[in-house]
Chains A and B, each alone.
Chain A
Amino acid sequence: MTTSTTTAATTTATWSGQSVNRTEDDRLLRAQGEFGDDTPISRLAHLFFVRSPYAHARIVSIDVSGAETVDGFLGALTPDEVDELTDKFGELQVAPADAEVDRCLASGGKVRFVGEPVVAVAAVSREAARDAAAAVVVEYDELVPLTSADQAVAADAPVIHEGIGHNVLHHGAWDFGDVDFAFQHAQNLIEVDELVCHRFSATPLECSVVTVDYDAGTDVFDIIGGCAMPQFTMLMMAGALRHPSSRIRIQSRDFGGSFGVKIGMYVPATAVALMARKLRRAVRWTETRSEHHQMGGHSNERTFRNVRLAVEDDGTVLGLSYECLDDIGAYSRYEPLGSVIWAQVANACYQLKHLRVDFTSVYTNKGPTHPVRGYSRLQHMWLVERMMDLAAHHLGFDPVTFRLHNYIQPDQYPYTTVNGCVYDSGDLPASLRQALELIDYDDARRLQAAAVGTGKRIGIGIGSTLDSGTNNFGQARLMNPYLPFGGNTEGGLVRMGVDGTVFATTGGVAFGQGHETTTAQVVADALGLRPEDIHVHRGGDSALSAQTGFSGSYASQFAVTGIGAILNATAKLSAEIRLVAGTVLGASPDEIVLEGGFAKVDGDPERMLPFGDVAGIVHFAPGSLPAEVADEVGLVGRAVYRAPFELPDVEHKTGNLTLTYATQIHACVLEIDEETGLVEVLRYAAVDDCGVPINPMIVQGQVFGATAHGLSAALFEHFGYNADGQLLAANFYDYHAATALDMPTIAYGNVVSPSPFTPTGAKGMGEGGGAPLHAVSAAVQDAIGRTGAILNSHASPEAVLDALAGAGADKVRVL
């Protein structure tokens, strides 16, 4: 059977597109979810890491004898043992940076950031494990810590990874169009010495939890834990453990948030796996909040230098150039991809013709960076937005008019960017107009004028951003041409049980995005059922054979690849149901429609089979079917969705790097207290355009969540380090994640520009976390005017006071 006939036989969308209640909610509201630390396991051992108190130090000696005297102690794992038992994790970067020795415990006789795990101990209880860890004595010889990217690239800087020989992970020169020509001929040039996108993270409320059981009889590691990218994790662990990946099973159930960061779980998980094998019993590691802040993954901290924007007198922006130093912390892990992933949104939201970027990623003695909501793209877009805003202010344009003039216009889609990415669809002007309406722009300007001289200042800012969804993994070759990646797929599996019940499994895992619900919606439509009739497996399980190599929840792709794969899988199942029903009812499969749990002959309601009978015949009475049907039908549809990508042009660094571009336009009105520098958001609007939504309520929820992350990052959150390399925000006292009291009520709006490139017209979304950073920076700038310049993405009260006092102004020039 081919799947091409299914469209005719599929009922029209009844559920897809509706804001149906979430299936997940019932168990979660009743406290019957199963998060990482909820899974009951008998004879569970607990693992605790002894971590480095120094940012950079040589390990002189390790003495675990104290731990051995603690009641309940079960075993310890040291760096030497790890060196012996494992290979280093697969590195994605090219030589010489691929010589980095990255293991699950400090390696090469050194520690490289505060909080790096040095020794792992296991005991019968959480308390005993802590006691045992406290009794381990590690002697260090301190080395000079590198706490900034500038220190790391200084000529005489100490080397963090001796095997590499310097602190540069990757350098990329990107040159599109003719930037020199643009700068020579443009009537205006805005030049900024330095802009900084600060370090923060998504800090999911559930920290990482990994439980590993090792079955000596089958030589299988059974891993339970919130894993955002299971097959990648398995591959990394298999290589490190020298263990066949077929004998590593990764499962997750409920998952208390990731927003990207838990992609790094393979590092601690490897230590837990080693311990489980050593002790021959199940071992769990439950990360503490402080541990998560130290090594759970930080966002990209970037310093942009010599930033130049060429603008014509009529406000047309021609080109942009900048140099970037990306501080990736002590280990590259998944991170090196951030050095190329920003290029998915090279143009941001604008008709930029020329772009030159000199990008250098460097190691420092800080916590490792991981993908964080808006990964790598938000930093680039923050810079572009900031430059647009500064240009408007300094050249005397209204920032709204300036953006509208330079936005990609609705009739220009599909729009090809300077580097060959294809923006699928959108209507930025309509989105912006809606956002301005929602904050009552004219009234806000009136408020602003009225506030003059009151000690308060009002600013209005716009943040325009893109959620690039479904990345082309071939992009990794722009960093390392030898990597075997290309394109992207996701898998899905839909099957019918022996009684006609329909089960669906997605390749990805949800950490709050409602995959169970949206999957049920589309399967229900395709099979003529109701969402509650579909049993969607929660979480992920690598043994269920739904996953592909790229499976996972990242890069805003579920609505496209996850749902695409489920649709393809359902089409296969549907074809089998119709084949069986057609055979039994004496009709051709094309004449069979699926409706209300029955396979019916179209137009002849007397001739129908309930799904239970279809299943019963296939499972229990195959003898009643002709061999060619019985042999063909397994009532299992397993399929992939392959995003239509080609490999990028490695030489020119061009190609289509992402399939969809959801847009987010945010607008905010905020008030600054001139005396304290405190910022209060008075009005906030978020308008999203993610194409055709599958469940608009869930889309709205994602927009609210992303907005909160962004606002919180812009106003409060900062992973600062002192000169010794100590993290200054190791818990929620010092790292203030916005509370309900800090958040404004968000006015929500939406525009629907269907994607021409995806199965349902949906685009991935949910990462619009950058927009609030852009909007807040712009609004603070607007409040301050040209007195000072907002050149850092963190609008702390201190930074606002400095800007009010004129800071930054000397770093901006109009040439």
Chain B
Amino acid sequence: MTDTQHDAPDVHAITVDVDGTTERGVVSSRTLLVHWLRDELDRRGPKIGCDTGNCGACTIQWDGLLVKSCMVLAVQADGTAVTTAAALAHPDGPLNDLQSSFREHHALQCGYCTSGMLMTATDLLESGEEITDHSVRRALKGNICRCTGYQGIVNAVRATAGHDIPLPHGKTPDTHGAGLDGGRS
């Protein structure tokens, strides 16, 4: 259907708390939340890896719930709060523990799935559920990664929960280079 077939323009004003900032926008009914966040707000955390809600690259937190933002319409988000991966660490501060652990355990390669993985893992860690290899894998089953084989990701999440996970091959705890904070602070 084309816009020309409507009498009134199909637009809605929305106000959404995104990563702690009040964002206002004008969207059409069919605008997906992921597109609004990306195209209008330049939030690069949620990414699109499929058209069907399978890959989890677009995962965000929405009013405390973990959701795939390609499955939500932007109008539905009116008056709610959205958190994307960009909010996990202060832009000028160090990486948070989970992000640092991802770095130490080589939990990312191309980085395309990473924001979604971080959001899902954060949700799991906050859920109070017992963290085991299996519970981490089960929690991550809606997030596809095509690079890492998941092993580094599972290790990174478990290490964040305090499990004693050996570092990747060839790494000693006293590794050269930037430290756990990612070298930015």
Interface residues of A (CB under 8 A from B): 14-15, 17-26, 28-35, 37-38, 40, 69-72, 126-128, 131, 135, 202-207, 254-257, 259, 286, 288-290, 511-514, 530-532, 693, 695-701, 704-709, 731-733, 737, 739-741, 743, 745-746, 748, 750
Contacts and interface: CB of A to CB of B under 8 A. Distances in A.
The 6 closest A-B pairs by CB, nearest first: A696-B170, A28-B111, A256-B112, A512-B109, A512-B110, A708-B149
A260 B153 CA distance: 24
B2 A205 contact: no
A20 B151 contact: no
Interface string B84-128: 111011010001000100111010111111110010000000000
A33 B44 contact: yes
Interface string B144-176: 111111111110000000000001111100011
A30 B115 CA distance: 8
B1 A26 contact: no
Residue in B113, B140, B170 with the greatest tally of chain A CB atoms within 10 Å: B170
A572 to B, nearest CB: 26
A294 to B, nearest CB: 12
Contact of B147 (A40, A126, A705, A746): A705
Given A29-B114, A71-B3, A18 B109 contact: no
Main secondary structure of the interface of A (DSSP, over half): loop
B68 interface: no
B152 A18 contact: no
Given A289-B50, A731-B54, A741 B112 contact: no
B137 A741 contact: yes
Contacts of B170: 17-19, 693, 695-697, 700
Contacts of B183: 26, 532
B4 A740 contact: no
Nearest to B133: A745
Given A31-B115, A256-B111, A20 B182 contact: no
Interface in B1-53: 1-4, 28, 30-31, 35, 38-39, 42-45, 47-52
A21 B169 contact: no
A700 B2 contact: no
22 contacts: A20-B175, A26-B103, A26-B178, A26-B183, A127-B31, A205-B57, A206-B49, A257-B109, A288-B51, A289-B55, A511-B110, A513-B109, A530-B176, A696-B168, A697-B106, A700-B169, A709-B146, A731-B50, A731-B52, A740-B145, A741-B138, A743-B149
Nearest to A739: B141
B102 A740 contact: no
Contacts of A35: 44, 47, 112
B54 A732 contact: yes
Nearest to A33: B111
A19 B169 contact: yes
From B52, B111, B114, B170, residue with most partner A Cβ within 10 Å: B111
Contacts of B106: 22, 697-698, 700-701
B112 A205 contact: yes
A289 B35 CA distance: 16
A772 B24 CA distance: 50
Nearest to B98: A29
Interface of B: 1-4, 28, 30-31, 35, 38-39, 42-45, 47-52, 54-55, 57, 84-86, 88-89, 91, 95, 99, 102-104, 106, 108-115, 118, 133, 136-138, 140-154, 167-171, 175-178, 182-184
Contacts of A731: 50-52, 54
A637 B85 CA distance: 39
Nearest to B99: A29
A745 B176 CA distance: 27
B144 A732 contact: yes
A732 B52 contact: yes
A30 B99 contact: yes
Contacts of A29: 89, 95, 99, 102-103, 108, 111, 114, 118, 182
Among B89, B144, B147, find the residue whose CB has the most chain A CB atoms closer than 10 A.
B147
B148 A532 contact: no
B112 A257 contact: yes
Contacts of B171: 19, 696-697
B95 A31 contact: no
Contact of A745 (B138, B151, B169): B151
A704 B143 CA distance: 17
Nearest to B170: A696
Contacts, number: 241
B184 to A, nearest CB: 6
A69 B4 contact: yes
A206 B112 contact: yes
B146 A202 contact: yes
A289 B140 contact: no
B150 A740 contact: yes
A37 B147 CA distance: 19
A478 B129 CA distance: 59
Contacts of B50: 289, 731-732
A697 B146 contact: no
A283 to B, nearest CB: 15
A204 B144 CA distance: 10
B44 A38 contact: yes
B52 A289 contact: yes
Contact of B140 (A34, A699, A741): A741
B2 A704 contact: no
Contact of A70 (B2, B47, B142, B178): B2
B131 to A, nearest CB: 13
Contacts of B177: 15, 18, 20-21, 530-532
Contacts of A700: 106, 168-170
A706 B17 CA distance: 40
A52 B16 CA distance: 40
Contacts of A745: 133, 151, 154
Contact of A30 (B38, B95, B169, B176): B95
A708 B106 CA distance: 15
B101 to A, nearest CB: 10
B1 to A, nearest CB: 7
Contacts of A746: 149, 151
A31 B152 contact: no
Contacts of B49: 205-207, 256, 289
A206 B48 CA distance: 7
B140 A205 contact: no
A31 B109 contact: no
Contact of B178 (A15, A17, A511, A532): A532
Contacts of B169: 19, 696-697, 699-700, 748, 750
A19 B175 contact: yes
B122 to A, nearest CB: 12
Given A290-B51, A708-B149, A26 B182 contact: yes
A32 B92 CA distance: 12
Given A20-B175, A35-B112, A206-B49, A30 B3 contact: no
Contact of A25 (B1, B88, B102, B144): B102
Indicate the member of A205, A701, A748 with the most B CB atoms within 10 Å.
A205
A14 to B, nearest CB: 8
Contacts of A135: 2
B103 A732 contact: no
A407 B167 CA distance: 33
B182 A514 contact: no
Nearest to B179: A21
A256 B183 CA distance: 23
Contacts of A204: 110, 112, 146
B57 to A, nearest CB: 6
A74 to B, nearest CB: 14
B151 to A, nearest CB: 5
Contacts of A17: 170
Contact of B182 (A25, A37, A127, A697): A25
Given A25-B108, A127-B28, A739-B142, 13 more contacts: A19-B168, A20-B177, A22-B106, A25-B102, A29-B114, A29-B182, A31-B84, A37-B47, A131-B2, A205-B112, A255-B110, A289-B51, A700-B169
